A and B are shown apart, each in its own frame.
Chain A
Amino acid sequence: MSLTPLSVGFMPLVDAAPLIVAQEMGFAAEEGIALDLKRAPSWSSLRDMLSFGKVAAAHMLSPVPVANALGLGGAGAPLSVVSVLSVNGNVIGVNRDLARRLRDGGHDFGFRDARAAGEALIAAAQGRLRIGVPFPFSMHAELVFYWLSALGLPAPQSVDIRTVPPPLMGDAIRAGEIDAFCVGEPWGSQAVENGVGELLLPCNAIWAFAPEKVLAVRRDWASEESALLGRLVRAVWRAGRWLGDPASRILTAEILSRPGHLNLPPDILDRALSGRLVLSSRGEERLVPGFVEFHRSAATFPWRSQAEWLGLQLAARTGLDRSVAQAAAASVFRSDLHRLALRGLPAALPTASSKIEGAVETDTAVATEAGRLILQPDQFFDGRIFDPDAA
């Protein structure tokens, strides 16, 4: 049987794993498709490659399709999110100077308590903090703003936010362009490895279940090629399930490390996959359970409430009408298409398409069409909840 080729764009990050693994481990072939993986040089060009049909599907920062729907950036071909590729997986780090001041101020680098780390960071800052994020529309930016604002430092107004492409984050610290950064793995660990930075906090300490990367397609493509879309979503879901098995970890690091993919040593990639992060060149290690999730807790399910949270954050910052933004955002995350594609697979998916974000305090069983689904905690560090119906 010949395979149907499908071009898929990605950025060199650990959380591109579901797409790379879908191709390399044969999950795509099982669905009769061959993923032609194209590595993109930047998020904006990947978005444009998708908009203009250079790729059929793309690895994308979860806020990008939402921002696109709100008319912020991009050329405007409407995009749809058909799966979440990964949950969590980012780190916040600081330059060595700031790390020293944090330590002098008595911070323990416990790597768990967002309030303690944030208050210590604000206290240790000299002048306006300059923080690097990979893209203006990114979970990184949203989490940094949420975190600092909740601690009394209104962001982005009171900090300098600089866009720095992930592979250049280490260079930007070395050049003294930024004091701190928020970036996806392996680029935080790479900064540690190069001795230019130290890690301060994993982002799941700010929001325990943040949709990080998504699988995005053009909206018209999704309706014209619904059968092909179903095959892609299933292949990627199976890849995510495989990635969720701890036994797959070492092989995953090897596959991702290949020159055509991330082209970095496997031991650096393994830190994110195992959740064992090395904080500094002195070698302190911290274990972060759930550092990045590809499968557990219905991680692939695109909750409309996740999109609405993002849409409202963006609207608040850019002065757009809140209810218009919320509705536009909700229509981007296609929980219906995701559910349709996975029907018949042993995937336990929620019957609801929306939830109160931040309200799950302990592992909680929820209603599904088939199978058993336990949602794991998804709290914000300050205990706030987001109820999309009350927003």
Chain B
Amino acid sequence: MTRPLSIIIVEPDRDRALLIIDSLQAAGDFDIQVIAEPTSLARQIQARQPDVVLIDIENPSRDMLEELALASGPEERPVAMFVDRSPEGLSSAAIEAGVSAYVVDGMQPQRIKPVLDAAITRFRMFQRMRTELAETKRALEERKVIDRAKGMLMKARGIGEDEAYALLRKTAMDQGKRVADVAQALVTAAGLLG
């Protein structure tokens, strides 16, 4: 029987790391470790000698792994980019999903495939969550600006809240802009005029 693949996950967020571990364990029997601290990443990985390293592409510490590409002898050189020249287009799929996996050169692709498949699914989900979070934040920001603009109009013109919003909306439509942009322009202008 072959020994289970050893995998290191580089992920500072504990909850995300746990989610990745869950999805990997569902995919097979792996020996999994997590590194949360990016300091001396390359040295830690070298000390533990994993078969595969999984890291988020957005993580700038990924460059530290490149050191390993030049390390030691050619047989046990832990290189090479994800899924080193795998024929199944896995590298491209991984990049798309925002995951890099470093694998020991010479490993059979079929042993890595389940790992990557699981990781890719998980990372895609994170990506969606990131986008949703950013969108929600933006929407909240815009709501705040619109509220401020409404308040200014109510005070300056002595009108009610609904009327103030109607005015903003009409101006936006007349100018072919979004309500949030008109509100932002008003808030900025008011700030400039003091």
Contact = CB atoms under 8 A, between A and B. Distances in A.
A75 interface: yes
If over half of B's interface residues share one DSSP class (helix, strand or loop), that class is named, otherwise mixed; here it is loop
Contact of A165 (B40, B61, B92, B100): B61
A221 B63 CA distance: 25
B118 interface: no
Contacts of A75: 81-82, 84-85, 91
Contact of B63 (A54, A76, A161, A163): A163
B64 to A, nearest CB: 5
B137 to A, nearest CB: 15
Interface in A167-214: 167-168, 172, 175, 177
A105 to B, nearest CB: 29
Interface string B26-69: 00000000000011101000000000000001111111111101
B63 A135 contact: yes
Given A75-B85, A164-B64, A45 B70 contact: no
Q: Which among A49, A163, A317 has the highest number of chain B CB atoms within 10 Å?
A: A163
Contact of B100 (A45, A54, A137): A45
A252 B37 CA distance: 36
A348 to B, nearest CB: 37
A45 B81 CA distance: 10
Contacts of B61: 42, 165, 168
A48 B81 contact: yes
Q: Which among B39, B65, B79 has the highest number of chain A CB atoms within 10 Å?
A: B39
Contacts of A45: 57-58, 62, 100
Contacts of A163: 42, 63-64, 66-67
B95 A44 contact: no
Interface string A59-94: 000000000000011111000000000000000000
Q: Which among B63, B80, B81 has the highest number of chain A CB atoms within 10 Å?
A: B63
A72 B70 contact: yes
A210 to B, nearest CB: 20
A20 B69 CA distance: 31
Contacts of A9: none
A43 interface: yes
Contacts of A73: 66, 69-70, 79-81
A75 B40 CA distance: 24
Query: Interface size class for chain A?
Result: 20 to 34
A168 B95 contact: no
Given A48-B81, A52-B95, A177-B40, A136 B66 contact: yes
Contacts of B69: 72-73, 136
A48 B63 contact: no
A135 B85 contact: no
A134 interface: yes
Interface in B63-120: 63-67, 69-70, 79-82, 84-85, 91-92, 95, 100
A41 interface: yes
A45 B60 CA distance: 9
Contacts of B65: 44
A41 B59 contact: yes
Contacts of B57: 41-42, 45, 48
Q: Which among A52, A134, A177 has the highest number of chain B CB atoms within 10 Å?
A: A52
Given A72-B70, A73-B81, A177-B39, A42 B60 contact: yes
Contacts of A72: 69-70
Interface in B136-180: none
A283 B79 CA distance: 44
A318 interface: yes
B88 to A, nearest CB: 13
Nearest to B69: A73
Contacts of B81: 48, 73-75
Interface of A: 41-45, 48-49, 52, 54, 72-76, 134-137, 161-165, 167-168, 172, 175, 177, 317-318
18 contacts: A41-B57, A44-B100, A48-B57, A48-B95, A48-B100, A49-B95, A52-B95, A72-B70, A73-B69, A73-B70, A75-B85, A135-B66, A163-B63, A163-B67, A164-B64, A165-B60, A168-B60, A172-B39
Interface of B: 38-40, 42, 57-67, 69-70, 79-82, 84-85, 91-92, 95, 100
Given A48-B57, A49-B95, A167-B60, 9 more contacts: A42-B59, A42-B62, A42-B63, A48-B81, A74-B81, A75-B82, A136-B69, A168-B38, A177-B39
Q: Which 3 A-B pairs have the closest CB atoms?
A: A165-B60, A73-B69, A42-B63
